[in-house]
Amino acid sequence: MVRSTVARIDLEALKWNFAAIQQHVASEPGRTPPRIICVVKANAYGHGSDRVALALEEAGADLLACADIEEAIVLRRAGVRAPILVFGALSISDLDGLFEYSLTPTVSTPSAARALQAAASRRETSLGYHLKIDTGMNRLGFRHDNLRRSLPELLGSTNLRLEAVYTHFATADEPGSQVFLDQSANFAKALAVVDELVKPAKSERTRPTGERSYLVHACNSAALLRDSRVWYDMVRPGLLLYGIVPPPLASTIDLKPVMSLTSRVVAVKGMRPGEGVGYGWRYRAQEPRTIAVIPAGYADGLDLRLSGKGHVLIRGRRVPIVGAVSMDMITVDVTDAGEVAPGDEVVIIGRQGDESWQQIDVREMAGAIGTIPWEIVCRVGSRIERYYD
């Protein structure tokens, strides 16, 4: 049995987006195109991390990135062989997975560095890592203005190998943000300090002057669109891979939506003037109306704020969501949508027709309720079956 509400994930659109991003970052003459780290954390932004990661690996992803070790293990067990970077903080109990599943950790605190060094030493092995610098977001990372004090112990570790240095921008999606410019400057200064502290091994002493022994990355999707000066050696698209441009930014990259969310009408009924619908009677009919019931609710990830603000598509028409979003269903006003009947397709996210207004995308839905596209896709519920095309 299959529930009426399903998500369809277009893996060919995903690969298309990956190639479009590749083409975009290769468009600047006179520079080596940055490699692409594909961000598949949070179940690939709700799209299904195992299938998405395998498709991106097939498309040529240089590196995949997850939030934690547990997410990365899911990918390895699904058959992913590409390198996997773990963004998040490390706890001592998690470290076995790094070695067992060949994962690349982020080192963002001195205590994590010591724990990793001890674990690698016990196993008599070496471990490559990415160093995170906090340039002003004030979450994880070594402070950019304290590196000469905090980094020597890590860089002197005998079993840890520096592979990359990175940072994360707090306001890349805010045009004109001074914080973004300040973080960019802080990162450039931090890289100069790291360059000074990193002592090349004997085999590297012939390295040309100015060439780093490690890679550098800083760009999420928004920063990738905003400023090519911080592309460095690698970029980290997340939302862009899934065909969504971070608001309020615009993009000339030819992207395709990867996820659509559809359901079916299960009931149609009339309302008399003065009657209400749903919990709390948050909607009351002022005149005779026709209401359709759709089996998708907040347990499936639909936001409560869609009531009175969101729309769905039925028979190629936009119809408003009325009444409270409940756990398992929503109601929509189909008075002006023609002869709606049980079984009719309902598009919650996606397209139903060729006109521009016959599409509801994630960015529109997020804007209608005052949230961000990341939240919309990440909240698509686990009980919704995902089909891959």
- Residues marked active site are found at 41, 279
Q: Which two tokens stand for residue 323?
A: 């009444």
Do residues 28 and 227 touch, judged by C-beta distance below 8 A? no
A 10 A CB-CB count for 160 gives 22
Do residues 301 and 10 touch, judged by C-beta distance below 8 A? no
Helix and strand element counts for the chain (H, E): 12, 21
Length of the chain: 389
**Residue 188: left if φ>0, alpha if ψ -120 to 50, beta else—which one?**
alpha
* H helix or E strand, kind and range, residue 200: none
User: In angstroms, what is the C-alpha Rg of the chain?
Assistant: 24
Do residues 48 and 380 touch, judged by C-beta distance below 8 A? no
- Beta strands 127-134 and 142-143 are parallel
**How far apart are the two ends of the chain, measured CA to CA in Å?**
20
Cα 91 to chain centroid distance, Å, stands at 23
Do residues 97 and 123 touch, judged by C-beta distance below 8 A? no
Do residues 44 and 258 touch, judged by C-beta distance below 8 A? no
- The Cα 367–Cα 375 span in angstroms is 11
Q: Which two tokens stand for residue 99?
A: 């070695």
- The Cα 251–Cα 283 span in angstroms is 38
Rounded to 10 degrees, what is the CA torsion of 253, 258, 259, 262?
100
Do residues 313 and 358 touch, judged by C-beta distance below 8 A? yes
